[in-house]
Amino acid sequence: MRHQTESDGTGLAPASGTGLFPNPGNRAAFLELLGDIVDDYYTWHESCAGAAGPRLADSADLGAAGPRIADSADLGAARTLVRGLSEWLARESTPWPSPLYLAHMTADTPVAVSLAYLCALLYNPNNVTGETSPVTTRLEHEVGDDLCRLVGFPPAKGWAHLSSGGHAANYEAIWIARNLRGLPLAAAADPASRDLVADLPRPGLVNLPVSGILDLVDDLAGRGALARVRGLAREIHRRAPGKLLFARGAHYSWDKCADLLGFAPGDVEAVDLDRHHRIDLGALRRRVRELLERGEPIAAVVATLGSGGEGGVDDLHEIMRLRDWCEQRYDASFYVHVDAAFGAYHRTVCLDEDGSMLPYDEVAARAFPARLKPEVYEAFRCLPLADSVTVDPHKSGHVPYPAGGLALRDGRAAAVVAGRSAYFAPGDGARPAFGSYTLEGARPGAAVAAVWAAHRLIGLHVGGYGRLLGGCLATAQRLHERFRAIEGDSRLVSGYEPDLNILNLAAGRTEPDLVDRLLARLRAEAAAAPLTSLWVSANTLAGRRVLRLCVMKELAPAAVDRVCEALTLP
Amino acid sequence: MRHQTESDGTGLAPASGTGLFPNPGNRAAFLELLGDIVDDYYTWHESCAGAAGPRLADSADLGAAGPRIADSADLGAARTLVRGLSEWLARESTPWPSPLYLAHMTADTPVAVSLAYLCALLYNPNNVTGETSPVTTRLEHEVGDDLCRLVGFPPAKGWAHLSSGGHAANYEAIWIARNLRGLPLAAAADPASRDLVADLPRPGLVNLPVSGILDLVDDLAGRGALARVRGLAREIHRRAPGKLLFARGAHYSWDKCADLLGFAPGDVEAVDLDRHHRIDLGALRRRVRELLERGEPIAAVVATLGSGGEGGVDDLHEIMRLRDWCEQRYDASFYVHVDAAFGAYHRTVCLDEDGSMLPYDEVAARAFPARLKPEVYEAFRCLPLADSVTVDPHKSGHVPYPAGGLALRDGRAAAVVAGRSAYFAPGDGARPAFGSYTLEGARPGAAVAAVWAAHRLIGLHVGGYGRLLGGCLATAQRLHERFRAIEGDSRLVSGYEPDLNILNLAAGRTEPDLVDRLLARLRAEAAAAPLTSLWVSANTLAGRRVLRLCVMKELAPAAVDRVCEALTLP
C-alpha cells in the first residue's frame, strides 16, 4: 500500500473520467466493493474483540440490573430506523447531481471518494495524533503535501492539514498571523531575548517581514524562550492586535473571524470592491501605505481567490507587488492570507502533470474550452507567494463534508499557536502529531481518506481536476454569454464576466422587481418538482438583489438552453 | 418518517443491547441494509441526473481537449485504490473494539450508527442551512433538543447544535460568554441604549448576571441596536475581556481557547486542583470574591465534568452555590460554562426514561453495579444550572468523528455571535439556519444523522446509555479496587477513586521509574501484537508520570484479570 501511494512521486494521477460518478453502469461494482469493505471491517472487528481471549462483559457478568441484552441478528429496530432514514434522504435531499442544480457550492461525489470515506469511517480514526489514526495520519501527511503542491508551496518547507471547513482554516490562519505580528515587539520586551532583535529599529519591529519573524521563532525556540515570548506577545496583541484588511465583499466568515479573535471593529478594515468584485487595489495600496508609514501594525491582508458570492479572484499578483514595494520602501511588510476555499482547486487548470505552472497560452489549449482571464492566471501564478492559503476539498475538490484545509508556506509558522496534550504521545519525531498544531483537536481520519482518494484518482493537474473544473468554468462563461447585456430588451443581465464559475444575474433597468419574482417562482417550482426545476441562490450585489448561479458541473449545450429557459418569465 | 421520529415524544427509546455492535450474527443484516441504502442512493442519483432531460456534458459537447472520458463499469483504478485502503485499515487500525484497548476516549461504533452515517454521507448534506440539508437540518433540531434534555435544559428555551468537536464547542461557548460580558457596559456607552441600563450602578454592569444580560440582548434587538452595541462591546472586551477561570488540569484546549479569543496570560486564571483532581473550591471562591469585590469582569468560570486526563468531575453544585451567594451578596455574577465533552452522556445513569433525575438511591439499583459518588450525582443534578455545556457525541456517545456539541441554557445567548451569509436564505422563520449562529459554517449532516440514530436506538436514559456507561464506570471501579494502595508491596497504585471511567496508575514509592518501564514494554507489545496486548496512555499527575486507563467498555471479570496481569512487571 505504501509503495502504491508513493509510486507516482508527485501524487498526481490521470483523471478517470465520467466513470468517476455514480451511474447505472457502476452500481454493481460499487456494491461489490462495499461488500469487500464490510468483510474487512467485520473480520477486523471480530479479531479485535476476540483475539485477546477474555471477551467484553455481557450484563450477567457484572450483575447489572436494567434491560436484558438480546442479540438481534436482523438488527431489529436498527433496520427500521436506517431504512426509514435512507428512504427519507432519497426523497427529500438536495439534488446536487441534477444539471439544473446551480445554487450552492456542493459538487457531486465521485464513487471512489464515497467508498474511501465509508471505508475509513468504519475504523473511526481520529487524526488528532497517529496513536489514534495510524493509517489516516500517514494519509494526511500525503494530503498535506498534495495541498502544498496545489497552491505552489514546496512541501519540504510548507505544511498543510485538513480542517472542519473554511471557517476553521481562516480562523487558524489569522490566529497565526496575529500571533506572529506581536512576536518581534515581545522579543524586544523580554530581557533574555532582546539581543535577537537589537539591530532592528522599533518601527521595523512593528511590521517586520514574515520571513524575519519566522527566523526569530527559530531563534527563540532554540533558546527555549518561545513560550515565554509568546505569552508577552499575547499581552501586546490584546492592546493592539493590528489591522485586519479584507475586501468588503469577502466571505461572511470574516466578520465572525475578527470578532472571535478579539479584533475590535476599529481594527478591521473592509476595503471596497472594484467593478470586477475584487478588492480595490487603489484603496488597498493607500491604506497599507498609510498604516506602514504611521507604524501601525498590520495583522494580515486577506485576499480571496473565488469569493463566495461572486467567484471574484483578487489581483494577488498586484498585492504581492505591493508587498515587495513596501519591503523595499519601508523595510516593513505584512502577512498575506489567501482565502482560496473555493478557488484553490481551480489552479489545477494551470498545472502540468508534474505540478508546474503551464504557460498562459497552453492553458486554453490543454484544459480549457473557454478563456481564463490573464489576471486570474496571474493570481494563480502568484499563489505560492502567500503566507497561508485556505483550500476546501469539500467545495471544488468534490469531497463530502467535512473537509476544509489550510496550507502554510513555511511550516514554522505553526509554532506560534502550538499546544500539547498531556496524554497523547508527542508524535513520531520527524512528523509531530497534527493535534499539537491545529485549531481543532479530534478530526475525522475518514475525511482525510476521502481527500486522499480524490487526489489520487482525479489528479491535481490540468488533465484531472483541471478537466472537471475547466468544464465548470466553460459552462459559467457560456451562461454569461447568454445573459450579457447587449440589447436593451435584455431583462436579466450578467453584468460582469465571471472570474470563476459563479455568475450573478441582475434585473435590467426596466423591471427592478424581476429578481424577486423569479426567485419566488423558482423556489416554488423546486419545492414542487425538485428534480426537474432550476435551483439558484440569491445574493446582494452593490445593494441590489441578484440571482446567483454556482456552476459546479459541466453542462451540455442542451442543458444550458434549459437553464436559460427556466430563467425567462412568461 | 417524520411520524416515526416523533413517536416517542421524549425521543428516548430503549437500548437494544449487544446486537448494537458488529458481531458475526449481524454481518449479513448489515450488508443487506447497506444494499438497500446503495439502491436508494443510486436510484436518487439517477433521478437527479436524468429527470431534467438534458444531461451533463460529456467532453465532446464542449470540444474539450485533454484525456478522453471512458466509463469503467468495474471502477478500474478506484477498485484498486479502495481495496488497498480497506486492507490497510483492517491491518493497522487502532483496535478500539478490543477489551484490552484502554488508551483513548474512542468507543466502539454501534452498527446502526455506522449505517446512518454511511447512508447520509452519500447525500452529502451540509447543515449550514436547511437549503443544503433538508433532512439532516430537521434531524439536528431533534438532536439539539435531545442534547438539551440530556444536560437538563428545557428545549423550549435552550438551544444546542453539533460541532466538529469539543474544541470548537468550547471556543464558541467562551466567545459567547466574552461577548455577553461586555454588553451591559457597551449599552451604557451607547447614547441610544443607555436608558436600558440606567437603573444599574456601573459596578453592577461589569458583572451583571447572565439572565439580565440576556434580557438586555432582547431589548437591544427589539430596538435594532444590537449590532451597534455588539460593536461597542468588542472595543470593551479588547481592553478588558474579563478573567477566564478554569482548573489547572483542565483540557489542553483551554490554553488554545484563551489565546485564540484574545485573552492575554494575565486574563487567564488557572485555579489549582484539589486532591480529587477537581477544581479547588476554596481557591475558586477566594478568587471569584476578590474579582467581584474589585469590580473586575469575569468572562467565565469553566467547570469540567470528566476531565480529559483524570475523569474528574468538578463540584458543580458548589460552584452554583457560590454563584447564588455572589448574586445575593454583590448583585454580581458570572457565566458558568461546563466542559462535559467527556462526561455529559454519563448523566444518563441518573436519568429516568422520561428524562428526569432519579433519586440518588435509585441510581445504583437501576443502572449501576457500582457506586456513583454522591458529589458526582450532585454535579450531574446541577448541570441544568450552567449557562452552556460542551457535550461530545464522539466521545461517550459512541458516534464516529466528527461529532462535538454545544448546548446553551438560553438560546438567546447565540445572538451575541450571530452572523449571516448573503447567499443563504434566512431559514424557515421559527427555526433560523444553524450557520448564522455557529462558529463553523459548513457542517456535515451525516454526523447529525449518526447522532440521531444513536440517541433513538440507545436511549438517553438509565436503560440505554446509562447501561453502557454504567458498565464502563463499574469496570473502572473494579480496576481501581485491584490497584488500591493497601499493602506496602503494591508497586502500581490507583491513588484516587475515579469519578468516572478514567483511571491513573502511579508507581509506588519503591520504584519511581516503574511507569516508564511499563509504558515502554506495553508500547512495544502493542506494536508487535496489537490485538492481544494492553493499550494504555500516559498522563502527568502532580508532576509525576502515570499510566492512564480510559475505560470505554464494560469488561468481564476475566478481562479485568487479563488487564491486571499485563500491568505486572515480571
- Residue A145, min C-alpha distance to chain B (Å): 19
CA A332-A336-A338 angle, to 5 degrees, is 170
User: In whole angstroms, what is the distance from residue B50 CA to residue B61 CA?
Assistant: 17
d(CA A170, CA A174): 6
pLDDT at B8 over 90: no
Side-chain-facing half-sphere of B351: CA atoms under 13 Å? 28
| Nearest neighbour of A262 by CB, restricted to B75, B241, B470 | B241
Q: Which residues pair with B493 in a beta bridge?
A: B506
Asked if residue B3 has pLDDT above 90, the reply is no
Q: Are the CB atoms for B562 and A54 separated by under 8 Å? A: yes
Mean pLDDT for all residues in chain B: 89
**Least CA distance to B5: which residue of chain A?**
A81
Report CB contact under 8 Å: A87, B1. yes
Residues of chain A above pLDDT 90, percent: 75
Could you please report the per-residue DSSP string of A464-513? THHHHHHHHHHHHHHHHHHHB--STT--EEE-S--SSSEEEEEE-TT-TT
Q: For residue B10, what pLDDT is reported?
A: 31
How many A/B residue pairs have CB atoms within 8 Å? 645
Please give the average per-residue pLDDT across B76-99, as a whole number.
Answer: 94
At residue B14, does pLDDT exceed 90? Answer: no
The residue written with cell numbers 519591529 in the block is A205
**For residues B136 and B445, what is the distance between their CA atoms, to the nearest angstrom?**
5
For the segment A206-230, what is each residue's pLDDT rounded down to a tens digit? 999 999 999 999 999 999 999 999 9
- Whether the ω angle into residue A369 lies within 30 degrees of 0, i.e. cis, is no
Q: Which chain B positions have a beta carbon within 8 Å of A299's beta carbon?
A: none
* Binary contact (A234, B475; C-beta < 8 A): no
Contact B338/B303 with Cβ under 8 angstroms?
Answer: yes
The proportion of chain B whose per-residue pLDDT surpasses 70, expressed as a percent, equals 89
Tell me the residue ranges of DSSP E strands in B296-335. Answer: 298-304
Chain A from 245 to 274: CB within 8 A of any B CB? 252-253, 255-256, 259-267
Dump pLDDT digits (tens) for B107-151: 999 999 999 999 999 999 999 999 999 999 999 999 999 999 999
SS3 A399: coil
Q: Which of A280-289, B248-257, B354-363, B471-480 has the lowest mean pLDDT?
A: B248-257
User: Which residue matches cell numbers 436608558?
Assistant: B195
Residue B181 · residue B242 · CB < 8 Å: yes
Q: Which residue of B has its CA nearest to A126?
A: B401
Residue B66 near chain A (CB below 8 Å): yes
- Asked if residues B62 and A553 have their Cβ atoms less than 8 Å apart, the reply is no
Which of these is catalytic: A123, A330, A401, A423?
A423
Say how far apart CA A50 and CA A54 lie, in whole Å: 7
Single out the residue of A46, A77, A73 nearest to residue B16, CA to CA.
A77
The answer, yes or no, to whether residue B238 has pLDDT greater than 90, is no
Residues contacting A199, CB < 8 A, separation 6+: none
Q: What is the pLDDT of residue A509?
A: 72
Q: Could you identify the residue written with the cell 459567547? A: B176
pLDDT of residue A67: 39
Name the grid cell of A489. Answer: 430588451
Report yes or no: A429 at the B interface, CB cutoff 8 Å.
no
Taking CA atoms, A199 is separated from A188, A194, A203, in Å, by: 11, 10, 12
Cα(B272)–Cα(B280) distance, rounded to whole angstroms? 6
Cα torsion at B141, B146, B150, B154 (round to 10°)?
60
- pLDDT value at residue A9: 32
Strands B502-507 and B492-494: antiparallel
Mutate: best of A238, A420, A539, A555, partner B, most B CBs <10 A: A238
> Is B423 among the residues known to form the active site?
yes
Higher pLDDT, A511 or A522: A522
| Closest C-alpha to B230, from B243, B221, B239, B222 | B221
> Is the pLDDT reported for residue A511 higher than 90?
no
Interatomic CA distance for residues B553 and B99, integer angstroms = 7
8 A C-beta contact, residue A526 and residue A534 = yes
Dist CA B116 CA B119 (whole Å): 5
Alpha-carbon gap, residue A161 to A406, rounded angstroms: 6
**pLDDT 10s digits, A33-77:** 999 999 999 999 999 987 665 556 554 443 443 333 344 567 888
Q: Are B14 and B464 in contact (CB under 8 A)?
A: yes
Residue A514 has φ and ψ, to the nearest 5°, of -60, -40
Contact A379, A492 (CB under 8 A): no
The three-state secondary structure class of B349 is helix
Listed range (A49-58, A480-489, B396-405) with the worst mean pLDDT: A49-58
Out of A191-205, A236-250, B376-390, give the one with best mean pLDDT: B376-390
Determine, for residues A134 and B252 on separate chains, whether the beta-carbon distance falls below 8 Å. Answer: no
Partner-chain contact B25 A71, CB within 8 Å: yes
Chain CA centroid to CA B230, Å? 28
ipTM confidence: 0.94
Query: Any idea which residue has 448574586 for its cell?
Result: B327
Amino acid identity at B139: L
- Grid coordinates representing B526 are 502493542
Q: Does the pLDDT of residue B210 top 70, yes or no? A: yes
| pLDDT level of residue A201 (50, 70, 90 thresholds) | confident
Task: State the pLDDT at residue B368.
Answer: 61
pLDDT at residue A569 greater than cutoff 90: no
A540/B38 touch (CB, cutoff 8 Å), yes or no: no
Share of chain A above pLDDT 70, in %: 89
Alpha carbons A406 and A419: distance in angstroms, whole number? 18
Indicate the pLDDT class of residue A1, thresholds 50, 70 and 90. Answer: very low
Whether the CB of A485 is below 8 Å from some CB of chain B: the reply is: no
Please report, as a single letter, which amino acid is at residue A267. Answer: D
pLDDT at position A439 over 90:
yes
Grid cell 518561545 is found at A226
Q: Give how far Cα A34 sits from Cα of A4, A235, B30, B33, Å.
A: 21, 54, 11, 12
- The per-residue pLDDT for range A246-305, each reduced to its tens digit, is 998 777 789 899 999 999 999 999 999 999 999 999 999 999 999 999 999 999 999 999
- Closest approach of chain A CAs to the CA of B392, in angstroms? 10
Report the distance separating Cα A392 and Cα A164, nearest Å. 9
Question: Average pLDDT, whole number, for chain A?
Answer: 89
Give the three-class secondary structure for A56. Answer: strand
Instruction: Count CB atoms within 10 A of the CB of residue B457.
Output: 26
Closest-CA residue to A417 (of A149, A237, A198):
A237
Beta-carbon separation of A93 and B135 below 8 A: yes
Q: What percent of chain B has pLDDT over 90?
A: 75
Beta bridge partners of A407: A160, A389
* H-run or E-run covering B507: strand B502-507
What is the C-alpha R_g of chain B? 26
* Residue owning grid cell 504581492: A320
Query: What is the residue-wise DSSP string for A260-298?
Result: HTT--GGGEEEEPB-TTSSB-HHHHHHHHHHHHHHT--E
Strands B404-408, B388-390: pairing is: antiparallel
Of B17, B420, B470, nearest to A252 by CB-CB distance is: B420
Strand partners for A504: A548
Burial of residue B99 (number of CB atoms within 10 Å: 0-12, 13-18, 19+): buried
List the one residue out of A495, A469, A437, A459 whose CA is nearest residue A159.
A437
pLDDT in tens, B460-495: 999 899 989 999 999 999 999 999 865 555 588 998
- Three cell numbers written together for B28: 449479513
pLDDT computed for residue B570 by the predictor: 64
Find out whether A352 and A365 touch, Cβ atoms under 8 Å: no
Looking at the complex, report in whole angstroms how far the Cα of residue B408 sits from the nearest Cα belonging to chain A: 18
Of residues A400, A466, A557, nearest to B124 (C-beta): A400
Residue A527 near chain B (CB below 8 Å): no
Cβ atoms of B318 and B288 closer than 8 Å: no
Least confident segment among A265-269, A326-330, A507-511, B544-548: A507-511
Cβ atoms within 10 Å, residue A513: 9
